[in-house]
A and B are shown apart, each in its own frame.
Chain A
Amino acid sequence: MLRWLIGGGREPQGLAEKSSVQTIGEEQIQNPYTELLVLKGHQDIVRFLVQIDDCRFASAGDDGIVFLWNAQTGEKLFELHGHTHKITAIAPFSSSDVSEDKKHLILTASADRTVIVWDCSSGRQVQKVSCFHSTVKCLTVLQRLDVWLSGGSDLCVWNRKLNLMCKTSHLTDAGISALLELPKNCIAAAVGKELIIFRLIASNDESEGWNVLEVKRLVDHQDNILSLVSINGKGCFSMLLVLLLIVWDALDWTKQASECNFWDSSVHPDAQPEIKLSQSPNETSVQHITSDEECVFAAVGKGIYVYNLQMKRVIACQRTAHDSSVLHIEKLPNRQLISCSEDGSVRIWELREKQQLPAEPVPTGFFNMWGFGRANKQVNQAAKKMQENTPMYVLELVGDLIGHSSAVQMFLYFGELGLATCSADHLIILWKDGERESRLRSLTLFQKLAQNGDLQLKF
C-alpha cells in the first residue's frame, strides 16, 4: 500500500511484509464493527474508560477532565471539571441502597492528590477529598463492605460518606500500583515487586469502623507488579495473577502455578531468538491480564498468551499480536478476545481449537494492493502453526479496528452497543455494528413518523 502510494510499486516485498505481525486483509467477514463514531472532547491522552451502567460510560485522561458519554448515541452527557492534574485512577461506585433509585457515583483520583466523588445523574461533584500525602494510584470499591480503598504511598479505607476509616503506615514511595479484593475481607496490594495481603477487621467499638492489618507479604516476583486480576474459578477458588504470571491461591496465598517464561523455547520450540532477552524488560513484562473460568489471558509485550489453568500451561499464543506493546486485553463471552496496543490498533481474536483450523477457510479474496487479485504473499500464521504440536488452540485474528492515530490506551466492551476505545490521540471512538445501527435508525425513523402523524399503516 505504502509503497504503491510512494510511487514505487515495483518491488513486491514491502516493509510491512517483513514484519512478523499477523495481518488480516481488508475483507473481514467476522468483524461486526462497520460503523464508527468519533467522540471528541478530551484535550490530552485519554487513559481510562469506565462503565457506569448499561449505556453510559465515563472517560478520563491526562487533561484532568472526566466526560460522561452515552454509549448508544455518542452524546456527551456531562463534562466534569474539578481536577487540576491528570487523572490517575477512576472507579465506579454505585450505591447498594435498594430503597432509592440506584445512584451512580464515580470516584476519580488525580495527580493533584485529591479524590473526587461525582454524581453521574446530575454531573455534579459530590465531595472532594484532598488530604492525601501522595498521588492516589488506584481505587477499589468493596461493594460488599460498602467501603472503598485508595492506594498511594499508603492504603486508606474510606466509607461511603468519605470518612477515613483507617490507613496503613507508609508503605512505599512508589505507591501501590494495583489493588485487588480477595475473599475473607482481604485485599491484595501490589507494591513494587511485593504483593502484600491486608485484612480488614471490624473494629470492636464501632460497628462502622474497620481496621486494616497486614497479613502476608509475597515476594516471588522479580519485577514490578503491574496487574492483578481475580479468577473466579471453581468453587471457592479465587486467584490472583501477577507479573510473569504467578497464580496464587487467594485463600492461603500459596503459589498455585507460575509461568515465567512465556517466550521460553520449551513452550515454543521454534521461537524466534530475537524476542528473548534482548528486549527491554518493559516489553517483556505482563502489561495486562484478564481471565475467564478456564484460562488466563496475558498481554506480554507485543504478544498475547493464553494460559490454561487446568493444564497449567500456555495453550495458545500470539507472540507478535501487535506491532507494539499490548496495553489492554479483554475476553468476550463468545470466545473472542480483544486487544489494543500502542500501535493504535485494536484487534479481535478468536480462540479456536486447532482441529477446526483446516475447516476454517482462510478468508478468500484476500488481496493486497500491489496488484489485482494477487494473493498476499504473507502466509497466515495460523497455517504455520498447524505443524506445531504443543498448543491445542490457536488465536485467530478475525478483525482489526483501525481508527486511532496513536496508542490505544484502553477499551470498553459494551456487548451489543459496541466497543469504546480511548487513545493517546485525545479521541474516543465508538465502534458499532452497522447493521444493528441501521435497524435502530429505521426504528426511530418510524417512531418519529408516527409521532408526526405522517404514518398511516395500512395492513
Chain B
Amino acid sequence: MISAPDVVAFTREEELEDELCSEPPLPEEYSVPLFPFASHGTNPWAKVASSKFTRDFILISEFSEQVGPQPLLTIPDDARVPGTFDLNYFSLRIMSVDYQASFVGHPPGAAYPKLNFVEDSKVVLGDSKEGAFAYVHHLTLYDLEARGFVRPFCMAYISADEHKIMQQFQELSAEFSKASECLKTGNRKAFANELEKKLKDLDYTRTVLHNETEIQKKANDKGYYTTQAIEKANELASVEKSIIEHQDLLKQIRSYPYRKLKESDFHPYEPECAPDQADAGCAQDLPTSDLAEPDETPLYAHVPSYTPKLIKAKSAKCFDKKLKTLEELCDIYFFTQTLDQLHQIERTFRGDVCYLLTEQISRALLKQQSVTNFLFEDVSLLDEKPPEKQHGGCQGLGQDAVDGKCSEEPPAPKVVISLGSYKSSVECVPIKMEQEIEDPQEPKMTESVTFEQQENLDYLDADIGGSISSGESIEVLGTEKSASGLPKSESQASLPVSPSPQAGRSKVGSRRTVSEDSIEVLSTCPSESLIPEDFKASYPSAINEEPYADDEEGGLRFTPKLNPDDADEQEDVSKQENLVQVDSACCIGKESPSFLEPLADLGQKPCDEDGVVRIPPQPYRQAEQGLRGSLGGFPSHDGISGGLLPYELDSRYLTGSREVSKSSLDECSDSTSYISSATSTCSDRTPSPAHPACPVSERHKKKAGQNALRFIRQYPFAHPAIYSLLSGRTLIVLGEEEAIVKKLVTALSIFVPNCGVYAKPVKHWVTSPLHVVDFQKWKLIGLQRMVSPAGVNVLHALSRYSRYVSILDADSKTLRCPLYKGTLVSRLADHRTQIKRGSTYYMHVQSVLTQLCSKAFLFTFCHHLHLPISEREPEESVVNRRMNFLKLQLGLANEDIKIVQYLAELLKLQYVQEPGQGANPLLRFDYVPSFLYKI
C-alpha cells in the first residue's frame, strides 16, 4: 500500500535542456552535476559496464570431476536470458571460489571414510568485466560414485546490479538456503537409497563369492590353495571390507545432524503440494525414525524390491562412467520442489532493486499498522510471517517489522574486508581500512590482495572505497570458515578492519575500477560458520550475533528511526542534530496515545503510522547518512505526517533531502565508475513482492490495476461506483457474460475495504437470487442476468433490496447508485490520469487508500469525537465536534465523510472484536435516494 505512486525516471534529455535554458541558472550548490556518462546518450540509470544478459537469472553449476566447472541449468530456462553471457566462463569463476572445506574421504586415523556434513557457503561475487554480480551458494551433494563421495554444486543468482545482490543478501541467502536444504534432503535420501542398493549388491556378491570359494575348497583337495582361490579369498575380503565401509556410510548419512536444522533458521524443506503429502511425510519422518533406530533396514518402504547385481572386483574407472545428473542425485520429487523454489526466487527478486526495497519497506511498515492494515491490504501478506524474521519476539512489533530483513544469522554480508568500500546498506559500520595493509595479525596475505598505493590513498581520502582489482588474479576479499572448523584456507585474506570513528563520513556508492579480467569476491557470508578469531576483536558484534546489539549492525535496516522503541532516543538525537526539525520530531511516541490529544492539537499531530509513505527508496542510504549526523538535514521519519499536513511535510522533506542529495551527488561526480543503485533498467521492471509470497497475487494486482484503469477511463460514472464500494454499499455488477462481469469485479475489487482479516468481501459470480445475508457478507458481487424465469426472480430480489445495493449494469452500461459529490474519489480515480501501467495504478490506489486509512484511524481513535468530554455534555455537541473534525481537520467534503465513517466503523469492529470469535457481520445502510447514471 505504501509506495511511491509513480516513480518516473527523469531521462528525457530535451526536457532537461528546456529547463536549463528557461530557468535562471541555479546557484552552484544546487545545481545537479550532469551524469558523467550522459554524453553517451545513456540515461543515468543505465549500467556503466553493460552486462551481456538482459535480466537476472539463476544458474546452477557443478564442478564436475570429469570436465571441471560446467553450467547445468538456468532459471528461467530460456536461452535468451543469459544471452551472450558466457555461462561456462562464469561457472568456472564462481566454482573457483568455493571455500567449503568439504573434506571427505579417509581422514588420518580413521578406519573408514567419513562423510562430512559441510555447511553451505554463501559468497557474493562480482565480475566487473562481465558486468555480472552474483550471489553464489555453494553446496555439496553426495554421490557414491563420485570422488570422495561428494559432488560440489553451486547455485548463483546473477544480476547486473551489484546493489541488488548486496542489499538483498539476507533474503537471497535465506531463500537459497531453503532451496539448498531441499536439494540436500533429497540427496540424502537418494544417497541412502543408493547405499542400500550397493549394500545389497555387495551382500549378494559376497554370497556368490563365498559359494564359489566353498566350491573351490571342495573341489580342491590337494591341500594347497590355487592362485585362483587366493584371488577369490582376497576378493571376498575386499567385499567384506567394502560392506563394512558402506554400512558405516549409511549409518553416517542417516545420522545427519538434524539438530543443526532445528537450531538454524531454515527447516527442512517442507513441500506444500497436497498430492505429495505422503511422500513428504515420509521424507520428514525420516530423520526421527532414522535417528531412533539407525539399524532398521526397511528404510524406504516404497522402494521396489531390488535385485542385487554382482559387483565386479575392479570397478570401472571413474572416467568411464557417466556421472549422475542432478536429477538422479536428488530424489525427483525434491528436485522439482527445488526447481519450483528457485523459480520462486527468480520471480521474487526479479526487477529493479528499488522496487524490492520499496516493497520490503512498505511491508515492514504495514506490519506496524496493526490497527488499520487489514482494511485494504492483502490478507495473505499480513498473516504470513516473513521468512527473514527469525529471532524471537524480544523486540517490539515495530522493530521486528522494520528489521525483518536483518536476519539474525550473518549480520549482513559481513563485509569482512570491504575496504571500507561498499557503501551499500549491507555495511552500515563505516569501515575504514587501516593504512597498514600488511597487518602483523595477518601474515598470510595472498598475493592477489595487493593494492596500488595510489589508488589506495585515493579511496582513503575520499573514503569511498572500491575493490581495486589487480591483474588477472581473483581477488578474494573475504571469506569464512566452514563449520568443520578447519584452519583457514590459503585464499582467505581477511583484512583487519576496525569500526571507523569518523561516523559522520558520508559514503556514497561504491567505486570500483574496472579490472581487466577479474572476479571479485565482494563479501562472503559466514553462514553458520565460525568467524576467524582475529576478527573477533575488531568486530565484536559479528561474533556475538546479537542482532541490534548496536545500531550499527542492522545493515539492511531501513532506518533505525523507524523503530518506535528507539524513537525516544532517536528523538533526542535528532533534536540535537538539528534544531530546525524540533517540531517535526515532537510526536514520537507509542502508537495511539498521541491521537488522543485534545482536539486543537490534532491537526498538528503527525501520524507516525503513515509518515514514511513519502520516503522514496533512494534516500535509503542518504537517510542513513543523515542519521550519522553529518548532514542532519533529514527529518526523522516519525515526524513526517502523512495525510494531514502534506505541504509541511514536503517542504521539510525537501530541505532535508536537498542537502543530502547534493552532497551525495558531489561525491559521486568525481567518481568515475559510479554505479547507480537503480541499475538494472533493462531487466524486467515488473515489481515483484520481496517475498516469495504470492506471485499470483502480484499478477492479480497488476491485472486488477489495469482493469480498474480501463474502467475509470471507460465509464464516466466510475466515481459514484467507487464511492459505493468505499462507503460499504454493496455494488452488484450485473451482466450476461461471465467474463465481462468478472473482469469488472476484478477491477473494482481493489477499492473494496476488507471487513476483517479474512478474504475480501468480493463474490465474482452469482447466479441465484440474492438475500439480505449476501449484502452482509459481500460488498462486491458479480451477478448473472438471465432471461429465464429464474432470472426474473433474481431481478425481483434485486429490485426488492435496491436500497442496500448499487447496481452496475455491464450490458447496458448504466449505474444506479447514490449521488457522489465528494473530492476524494476523483483523486483516486481520475479518468485523465497519466498513469499507464496497471501495477502503477494499483500502487497509486493503495497510496490514496492508505491516506484514507490514516484519516479513519485518527477519526476512530479520537476519544472526544465519539464520547462526551464531561458527563453533562449533550450528545449534539459531540456530534458537532465530530462533524467539524471530519470537515475541517480531515478536510472531507460531502460524501467523503461517509467513507471515513464507514472505515471507522470497520476499524472499531475489528478492534473490539474478540480474537477468538469472528465479528458479527453487520449491514449498515443509509436511506438515500439512488440515481441512474448512463453513459
> Which positions in A face B, CB cutoff 8 Å?
1-2, 4-7, 25-29, 31, 34-38, 40, 73-75, 344, 365-367, 369-373, 399, 402-405, 425, 427, 429, 434, 437-439, 441-446, 448-449, 454-459
Contact = CB atoms under 8 A, between A and B. Distances in A.
B926 A445 contact: no
A402 B803 contact: yes
A74 B154 CA distance: 61
Given A4-B932, A26-B803, A367-B929, A441 B905 contact: yes
Contacts of B772: 36, 38, 403-405, 427, 429
A372 B717 CA distance: 14
B161 to A, nearest CB: 43
Contacts of B769: 405
Nearest to B905: A438
Contact of B867 (A74, A405, A442): A442
A28 B925 CA distance: 12
B930 A446 contact: no
B734 interface: yes
Given A27-B928, A449-B592, 18 more contacts: A1-B802, A1-B816, A5-B795, A26-B927, A34-B924, A36-B922, A36-B925, A38-B776, A369-B932, A402-B803, A427-B773, A439-B867, A442-B860, A443-B866, A446-B867, A455-B596, A456-B596, A459-B598
Contacts of B795: 2, 5-6
Interface in B773-820: 773, 776, 792, 795-803, 807, 809, 811-812, 814, 816
A35 to B, nearest CB: 5
A365 B926 CA distance: 14
A5 B591 CA distance: 49
Top 10 closest pairs, chain A to chain B, by CB: A442-B866, A28-B927, A2-B799, A1-B799, A441-B908, A403-B772, A456-B593, A5-B795, A26-B929, A367-B929
Contacts of B923: 35-38
Contacts of A454: 590-593
Contacts of B799: 1-2, 5
Interface of B: 590-593, 596-598, 734, 769, 771-773, 776, 792, 795-803, 807, 809, 811-812, 814, 816, 860-861, 863, 866-867, 901, 905, 908-909, 911-912, 920-932
Contacts of A2: 795-796, 799
Contacts of B861: 445, 449
A224 to B, nearest CB: 32
Contacts of B921: 37-38
Looking at A29, A74, A454, the one whose CB has the most chain B CB atoms below 10 A away is A454
A369 B596 contact: no
B868 to A, nearest CB: 10
A47 to B, nearest CB: 19
Nearest to A364: B929
B807 A5 contact: yes
Nearest to B734: A5
A348 to B, nearest CB: 12
Contacts of A405: 769, 771-772, 797, 800
A404 B925 CA distance: 15
A164 B912 CA distance: 50
Interface of chain B, main secondary structure: mixed
Given A5-B799, A73-B920, A459-B598, A34 B911 contact: no
Contacts of A25: 929
B816 A4 contact: yes
Nearest to A435: B879
B829 to A, nearest CB: 21
Looking at A344, A367, A427, A442, the one whose CB has the most chain B CB atoms below 10 A away is A442
A31 B928 CA distance: 11
A402 B591 CA distance: 42
Contacts of A5: 734, 795, 798-799, 807, 809
Contacts of B908: 438, 441-442, 444-445
B922 A35 contact: yes
A366 B929 CA distance: 7
Contacts of A455: 592-593, 596, 863
A74 B809 CA distance: 35
5 contacts: A4-B932, A371-B932, A402-B800, A445-B908, A458-B597
Contact of A458 (B593, B925, B926): B593
A37 B912 contact: no
Contacts of A425: 771
Contact of A369 (B816, B860, B922, B926): B816
B803 A40 contact: no
Nearest to B803: A26
B860 A445 contact: yes
Contacts of B597: 458
Nearest to B879: A435
Given A5-B795, A454-B591, A372 B931 contact: yes
B773 A40 contact: yes
A445 B811 CA distance: 44
A46 to B, nearest CB: 15
Nearest to A28: B927
Contacts of A31: 927
B928 A26 contact: yes
A153 B41 CA distance: 103
A458 B596 contact: yes
A227 B901 CA distance: 45
Contacts of A446: 863, 866-867
A91 to B, nearest CB: 29
A140 to B, nearest CB: 34
A365 B931 CA distance: 11
Contact of A365 (B591, B922, B929): B929
Looking at B800, B811, B816, the one whose CB has the most chain A CB atoms below 10 A away is B800
Nearest to A74: B920
Contact of A441 (B797, B803, B909): B909
Nearest to A1: B799
B912 A445 contact: yes
Nearest to B875: A439
Nearest to B794: A5
